[in-house]
Structure formats: structure tokens, C-alpha cells
Amino acid sequence: MGCHACYNVCPKNAIEMYEDEEGFKYPKVNSEKCINCGLCEKICPMINVTKNNNFERPKVYAAWSQNQEVRLDSTSGGIFSELANIIFDEGGYICGAIYNKEWKVEHILTNDRTELEDIRSSKYLQSNINNIYRQIKEKLNENKKVLFCGSPCQVSGLSNYLNKDYENLYTCDFICRGMNSPKIFKMYINNLEEKYKAGVKKVKFKNKIHGWHNFSTRIEFENGKVYIGNRYIDSFMVGYLKYTAFMRPACYECRFKGFPRKGDITLADFWGIEKINKQLDNDMGTSMVLVNSHKGQELFDKTRNKIKFQEINSQDVFNDNVCTYKSPDRTEAREKVFENIDQMNYKELCRNFFRKPGIKERIKIYIRASKIYRKIKE
């Protein structure tokens, strides 16, 4: 699954991460360096699923940041930014995912608050962990607080690598649908750069100009042009959400679903909140916050004067959040895309294996989007 735990733990640096033909990284052992210590197998979360002391069932909150700018710039309600600011205030470090200059995603560890904007928001790509677990361990041993945010498998990889509980470590995962191929995403970016005749300057998934429910991908180019495509039109999101065509093979049989969760806090879009309480959904983003441990509760409680929140006791909270406990289906489109990834360009892959919405469907989408846009501007 590419969590990099084995890569970080190897005492002889005998494990290298190589990229396969689909664009995903896998560990490969250099037999000349390997001393057969067995640490890589011992800490692999796919081989050894470790137990934890977290709650069997989490406390569930609907929440959003009172900072409207942060909320609108975030994937859902902006709660991660408020958690991060608490750690920054206490002299700690944040570890999260950013885009690099090649528009691949990688994790960084920082105590620079100005980098929070780059970490904020979902990336929908598998991130490169590199040696970040080692960096985290160094800071923890210096008694610095660290908030790590990553996918459930990455949180498990970090936990197994550390192999002990650190009071100064807080972990935050998210309800994960699956990790998409960096290779496919680069093809998508290259296609847009060709169309707009300029390099990409900024990428933002889940832009809310058309509303949280109707979220869009917004991409800025160096020539000042801007691309915006909502979830029903943008080809990358259609391939991801409708056809589940870009994901890592392990994501179709994810072992990190359900409860108890490994992270101290789990964040997600609170899809379906309007069915539970309409007042908690104004289409600007509402976070589902699952508090999974006493440590997570302690950190969440520190944000209370910065957020709006309500504890939710309904048994229906996961009805519209099926990725909490269910992996996506591996589709025919997924097989076709990767069978042809080196024979076709991005436009050809989409044209051959994805159906575009019809005219009537497009009209409905744009009518809804324009209404939401006017509401947000008001």
C-alpha cells in the first residue's frame, strides 16, 4: 500500500521505493545490503495489524471553523487547520501533504505556520512519505509535539514504525475512498497545460465556488487563466468518483476501514448532515469529526472557542459515508485505464473509457451550480 514504514525502519537502508508502470511506489529489497533482521516484516501494517487503546466507537461531531476564509478554503469545515493551529501555538510541528514542483504529493514536517495553507485540503493522490517517520521520531524524542495527518494506512505505518506510544504525538486520519495514481494525475495536469497553453500555478480540489455539495476542481495557470470543473464534469473527479478507475490495487480491499480507528481523530465531509439537522448545512462545508481516543478529545476540546460544533448521537451518521466501512469496487474501467496507460494519452483514456454527461444532465448541473454561487456571494 506504499506506507513507507519498511523503508523508514531498515537499519541498512536496504529498501528502495520504486515506481511501477501504474505510477505507484512499492518497496524493493537490495539483497546485498539486507542483513535479514526482519524489522520490515515485523512493522508492516499489512502483515501485523496492531491493536490500540482507542475507543471502540468514536464520539461524533458536526463542526466547522468560525474563520470563514479558512472554512471556504478547506475540503469540508476547516477543522484540521484549527487543530494544527493549536499545535503551532504550543511550539509543535505539523506533518501533512503538499504538492511539490512536479505536481506530485509528498509529506512535509514543519513548524512554519505559513505552510499550513499548502497542507490544507485533500489532494486525492497517494503521497510520498520518504523518510518522514524518521523525522517525526526525532522531534518526538526532543519532546516536541507533533500532529501527523495522513491516510489510515499511513497512520498505521507510522504507529508500527514508532512501536511505542508517545504522549506528544497526535494522529489524524480521514475517511479515505482510495489513493489515486500520481502518474494519472500528471497526465491530467499535462493535458490541461496543453489546452491552456501555460504551466499550472496552483491546484485546488474541492473548491466551493459552486458549493460544497457540488464541489469543483480549480486550477490556476501561469498565464492568468483559470480552469474550474465541478465533480460531475471534471474528468479526473469523474474517473475517481464515478468509475473508481485510478486507485491503487490495495485500496479496493482496504484493511483499515471500520472501527476502532487508529488515528486519535478522524476527519471527513459530513455527507448527509442535512438529513440529520438542516441547520448544520449551509453548503459551505461541514466536517464530520470522529474523536477516537482520550488524546484526540483533549486536542479537539482545545479548538472549541474557534469552531461551531454539535455532538451527533444519530445512528444514521454513516449512511451517507459508506467509505467509513466499505472499499470501492474494482471496475472494468480501472482495468482498461491501466492496460492502456502507456499506449494512450489522457484525453484518449477518458474518451474511450468514461461516459460524458449528456446535455440535459449538464444543464441541470450548471443551473444548480449558478444558484449555489449566488447564495455564497450573498
Distance from C-alpha of 124 to C-alpha of 72, rounded to nearest angstrom: 18
Query: For each of the chain's 378 residues, which pLDDT tens digit applies?
Result: 999 999 999 999 999 999 999 999 999 999 999 999 999 999 999 998 776 778 989 999 999 999 999 999 999 999 999 999 999 999 999 999 999 999 999 999 999 999 999 999 999 999 999 999 999 999 999 999 999 999 999 999 999 999 999 999 999 999 999 999 999 999 999 999 999 999 999 999 999 998 999 999 999 999 999 999 999 889 999 999 999 999 999 999 999 999 999 999 999 999 999 999 999 999 999 999 999 999 999 999 999 999 999 999 988 899 999 999 999 999 999 999 999 999 999 999 999 999 766 666 666 656 655 554 454 445
Which residues pair with residue 219 across a beta bridge? 203, 227
Global pTM value: 0.94
CA gap 127, 43 in Å, rounded? 20
C-alpha triplet 368, 371, 373: angle, nearest 5° = 110
Per residue in 13-35, pLDDT tens?
A: 999 999 999 999 999 999 999 99
> Quick one: which of 205, 151, 213, 154 has its CA closest to 178?
151
